[in-house]
Amino acid sequence: MKKNILYIVIAVSVGLLSGYLIFGRTIKKDSAVKDVSDTHEHESMEEFWTCSMHPQVMKTEPGDCPICGMDLIPAAAGDQSLDPNEIRMTKNAMALANIQTSVVGDGEGEGGTNGLSLSGKIAQNEEKISVQASYFDGRIEKLNVTYEGQNIQKGQLLATIYAPDLVAAQQELLTAGTLKKDQPSLYNAVRNKLKLWKLSENQINSIEKSGRVLENFPVYATVSGTVSQVMSAAGDYVKRGQPLLKVSNLNTVWAEFDAYENQIAQLKKGDTIAIIANSYSNKNFKAQISFIEPMLDTQSRTVRVRATLNNPEGLLKPGMFVTGNVSQKDGSSSAGLIIPASAVLWTGERSLVYVKTDKNTPLFEMREVTLGNRSGENYNIASGLTAGEEVVTNGTFTIDAAAQLQDKKSMMNQVGEASAMKGMPMELSKNFQLDFQLILPDYMVLKEAFVSSNDAQISAVAKKMVTAMKKINIASLKNMVQSHVNTIIKTLQDIETENKLEEQRKAFAILNENFVPITKALKGLSQEIYIQKCPMAANNKGALWLSDKKIIKNPYYGEVMINCGSVIDSIK
């Protein structure tokens, strides 16, 4: 009996001890796990991961961007102490997004870009174009110059012509030669007749000396130069004075530029213009403005400006693209603060930049500025910035997108007074709106051609759009809208004539800078249009486009990154 009780007590003790060892520790372990889990969950809720190039992507854990495949980076935590215009970024995010800044400077001093920039082409100097004509009626037996671009020298044999009248005149010369002592006036009259047909003294003397009539008479070049046009062929019958060839002397050429209406006041004859050809970017050619067209082109709202360039080595060839910069030494119209065009976010009515407010901290402030004239790749700033401030020149779209995600003031997200300005539309006439809406379907076709990288279709649609845009009457519109329309036409022409897809896409980005604001101001659209943006386009500066579908199809990269981009706004 006592043994049984002892066994029971031992069994109960062992059971209690085992239960404590097993369940007591499990409870503590579970409690500890719960505490750690709660802490981890709390930390996870506060930590997000985003893509430096596509800040609309937000993940709760690290990984790859579903759009471009880049590694996700920690998203910057919100800072409630910041002004609504300010945004803070991590240094890692800045490095990955390739955000670059530059200090605002003025147009004076070494390295300044003060001046008026113009775009144009090299053309033949029409004052140096000569026509090689036939000086008598006849049939071309042989033409020695048969293609354009051929160089000829003065005195070179160009052609041989059978001329019945010249055969008769030679016979008269031989007859008059036998009578020159008795009838010197007749003899001299016959010689002068041959001279009128541009026969030289040597040729006349040779005919007279040989006593033989030439049936096929040679025609020699009277000038040296390059054949710009062949205007006849062997076997053709030509009349006296009929052109055989056009010859250009390319030792001098014209550089012809288009100056917009608001630039005319800054130009005058005699101004020095520095010219750079795309083919020789390391060479500078200097000339003086020799001609400013007196009539304004009412379609493009431009005037032609011309400078004559010496071209002894033949480097400059007609048709080459060139850019010219006219110095503004008086500082009256172009002086002031200058920033790169890539720093500006333009919404149609407002121009925005991001200013780095602290040299040691990646803190940026959105600032509204007033733009002056554009000079090449730079803008003159009328107000909003001061010299010495540091502005973002690369990655501006990325910072703005990050501001949108943090519900800060941004290009597309304004509050208060800024919001009222955002809603201020352009003033467009009813007829202009109707005409412009008719072009939207062609624009959508052009965008799809860029998506599919079909350069032939791109050129064809751009040509069609140029024809349609030129028919729109813009005379009653404000200068700002006229400037947009003129830029649209010029950019479409560049897209049409350019044979490299990469260059066409660069021009498409400029086209959209002017096309999107006008489209935003249209009323009564038949369907919703989406404004989409790729932050990686235009060398990571970002670029917009329009689409009639919400799905992203990137026209700047095509199949390479077809889904890169996001919808940033829509036009209802």
98-111+342-422: CATH topology is 2.40.420
**Which CA distances in Å does 177 have to 190, 212, 322?**
9, 12, 60
Specify whether the CB–CB gap between 451 and 555 falls below 8 A.
yes
Domain ranges of the chain: 1-46, 98-111+342-422, 116-123+250-326, 127-248, 430-571
Indicate the helix (H) or strand (E) that contains 560: none
| Three-state secondary-structure class, residue 178 | coil
CATH of domain 127-248: 2.40.50.100
User: Has domain 116-123+250-326 been given CATH number 2.40.30.170?
Assistant: yes
**CB–CB of 97/90 below 8 Å?**
no
CATH topology identical between 98-111+342-422 and 127-248: no
**How many other CB atoms are there within 10 angstroms of residue 54's CB atom?**
22
CA distance 397 to 488: 22
In tens digits, what is the pLDDT along the chain, a chain of 572 residues?
555 555 565 655 656 555 555 545 444 444 443 444 444 444 433 456 776 556 656 677 788 777 666 677 666 544 545 666 788 877 777 776 788 888 886 554 433 445 677 889 999 888 888 888 887 888 998 998 888 888 888 888 888 888 888 888 888 888 887 777 778 888 888 888 888 777 778 888 888 888 888 778 888 888 888 898 898 888 899 888 888 888 888 889 999 998 887 778 888 899 999 998 888 878 889 999 999 999 988 887 889 999 999 988 888 999 999 888 887 654 444 446 788 888 888 765 678 899 988 777 788 888 888 877 666 577 778 788 888 888 998 888 878 877 776 667 777 655 433 333 333 456 788 888 899 999 999 999 999 999 999 989 999 999 999 999 999 888 777 777 888 888 899 999 999 998 889 889 999 999 998 899 889 888 888 889 999 988 878 777 778 999 999 999 999 998 888 888 888 888 88
Rounded CA gap, 358 and 365, in Å? 10
Please check whether residue 525 is in contact with residue 571, taking contact to mean a CB–CB distance below 8 angstroms. Answer: yes
On whether the pTM is more than 0.75, the answer is no
